[in-house]
Amino acid sequence: MKPLHRSGVCALALVAGTAAMQFEPAFLRDLAVQDGTQRLSIGAVRTSLWSMAFAQAADSFTLDDVRFTWGGATYEARQVSFSGASVVRAEIENLFSSATGEPLADKLARIDVRQVTIPELKVTQTIGSETQTAFYRNVSLNDVLRGRIASLTVETTAIEETGDTGTALVSYGRTTLSDFDAPAFAKLYDTKDAAAPLTRIYGAFSIDKIDITDGAGTFGARIARLDGRDIMARPTKDSWNGSISAITELAQKETTSPEEQTRLMHIVADLLGAFDAGLVEATGVTFKGDGTDNKGAGSVARIAYTGATGSQASEMRLEGLDITDADSRVKIGTVSLSGFSLAPTLEGLKTLDAKALADLDSAALRSLIPTLGTLRITDMDIDAPMAEDKPGERMRVALGLMEVTADKPVNGIPTNIRLEQRNLSATLPDDSDDELVQQLKALGYTSFEGSFAVAATWDEASQEIAIREFSVDSKDMGSLRLTGLIGNVSRDLFSPDEATASAALISAKAKSASIVVENNGLVERYLEQAAKDEGTTPDLLQKLYAGATPLVLSGMIGNSEQARTLGQAVARFIEKPGRLAIDAEPKNSSGFGLMDVMLASDPKAALEKLKITAKAE
């Protein structure tokens, strides 16, 4: 054979060999695996001739026409490619075989592959009348070891949701996910164990450029970025498959019985307790309507949830809210809720069994009350028309701080309560029907600026309720502060049994009370207005009130030494408005209770049981 001819034959053989290496014949066709509600079908499993020729090992292989039904959803992909798998043919066949009856989670735990790529994945899920169809493009799973995926990326996502309320469209930009434990995730759908601990399903995720619109174009929202870390989950009592199936079944019914409503409540509560996260936050949130039906637009700088860690309570937080409408605007600096817990509700549901809500007694209902924790709102500013028929008159309300705490519950009733409002300011309307507003306008006030706080806590060890603060403070008016201590308060006060709680209330006794009043212009304005009404001068009226006060009080509360002390202090305060402090303690060390008032012949006799001191400065 001539050298040139031999060279041509070798070249042809090389080309043929290379083509054969790239050609992917199918060694498995028309696979179908059924396990309960889970079903997997594959048109063909393909690998290169090179892999087929050497010990039947398959470093790379491709699945064609994959369809997988799992967890109430159907997954469809024209092609799924595996590279860096290094598995023999028998293992591939076993992975897609139903003969062994092996759980999906165990099969996933045997997968070691460098990369899995899916050009397009379609996922369809229906719950009741709602259907969601999602398209994921250019999906890549990287460095899969024993089913754990080191990283997952999706180039773009498009979702369509249809139902009774219309159609909604959602699109995502690039999505990334790290340290995804696929076997642990798969177990959630089959395992029935609501007592199982939370397990980390994946380490972190991020989604860029989320756009949401409804089909009619009446609403739109955008999220610049969504991030999260340490996503935790646990199985439910009926497994995720069972819970989703039950919700779907009940959602399809036009009416549900009380027992079915209770069952649904149990399932939803179980699911709510089956998730947690170290952090989930959305930044750069904007939304808008179409300008009709008084719909407006707005933005939120950040929305976040932080899970509890050690002594640090969980927190939900919103920052930089700004909502505008055709003629109004609302701005809020921050809204946070910390220490909120559904644990009492979830624990209470476990004891209800199949009872209908209508059949629950007071104790059962109170066991379902969640713990509020602390709600905090800062820097709120509202600018809106005073009334719909008077768009020209504006109302401006600003609030520096509002904080509500209600925690440490006993039988569903919080034993630590605090409500605070700071730097509240509002304009007073000219034509208000409110009697207080009318009185303030008559005194020359055009706006109100002030603060309010009330705080009380129950201590079980001392069986005391401490009224730590009750205060009202208003600019150009004055302030009022009250503190006190109530003793002999047993746990029975929080009993769901009304008779027991009433008896505990009667047994409670006041141990001390203190009132401090400070004038900052209100008394002078009142005297000036009253003087005009009575045709005299403020000075004369002031002296008249100061002189009459001791006589009026003695007629009301008697002529005891402490009544005279109180009357003289109040008179001095009216004569020279400044600061008035009144302290009261029971003469009996056991305290002053409701029975002391009820058994007294008149208020004067009840007052004799108190030691009162008063001082005007």
Residue 36 maps to a domain: no
Burial 253-264 (b: 16+ CB within 10 A, else e): eeeeeeebebbb
Query: Does 212 reside within a domain?
Result: no
The pLDDT of residue 53: 45
pLDDT at residue 423, rounded to an integer: 93
- 358 has pLDDT over 90: no
Please check whether residue 259 lies inside any domain of the structure: no
Q: Residue 272's pLDDT is what?
A: 83
pLDDT band at 424 (very low <50, low <70, confident <90, very high): very high
List 279's β-bridge partners, or say none: 229, 306
- Let me know the angle formed at the C-alpha of 211 by 208 and 214, rounded to the nearest 5 degrees: 160
Q: How would residue 151 be classed by pLDDT, with cut points 50, 70 and 90?
A: very high
Enclosing domain of residue 524: 512-616
Residue 529 domain flag = yes
* List of residues 6+ apart from 275 with CB closer than 8 A: 231, 232, 233
Residue 242 in this model has a pLDDT that exceeds 80: yes
Whether 385 shows a pLDDT value over 90: the answer reads no
Mean pLDDT of the chain: 83
- Tell me if 117 is assigned to some domain: no
At residue 410 the predicted structure's pLDDT band, cuts being 50, 70 and 90, is: very high
Over range 582-594, report the average pLDDT: 82
Rounded Cα–Cα distance for residues 274 and 234 (Å): 5
How many percent of the chain have pLDDT more than 90?
40
| Per-residue pLDDT band at 30 (split at 50, 70, 90) | confident
| Residue whose structure tokens are 């806590």 | 457
In a domain, 225, yes or no: no
Banded model confidence at residue 377, pLDDT cuts 50, 70, 90: very high
Confidence of residue 6 (pLDDT cuts 50, 70, 90): very low
Residue 132 scores a pLDDT above 50: yes
pLDDT category at 122 given cuts 50, 70, 90 is very high
pLDDT above 70 as % of the chain: 84
The total number of structural domains that make up the chain:
1
- 231 within a domain of the structure (yes/no): no
Cα 616 to Cα 56, 568, 569: the distances in Å are 100, 9, 5
The predicted structure's pLDDT at residue 90: 61
3-state SS string for 341-388? ECHHHHHHHHCCCCCCHHHCCHHHHHCCCCECEEEEEEEEEEEEEEEC
Q: How many CB atoms lie within 10 A of CB 367?
A: 20
Q: Is residue 166 part of a domain?
A: no
Return the minimum-mean-pLDDT range out of 36-40, 95-99, 105-109, 132-136: 95-99
CA atoms within 13 A on the CB side of 129: 8
Half-sphere exposure of 13 (CA within 13 A, CB side): 6
What pLDDT, on the 0 to 100 scale, is given for residue 41?
85
Report pLDDT digits (tens) over 465-480: 999 999 999 999 999 9
Q: Are the C-beta atoms of 285 and 221 separated by less than 8 Å? A: yes
pLDDT of residue 289: 73
Instruction: Please state the rounded mean pLDDT for residues 523-543.
Output: 89
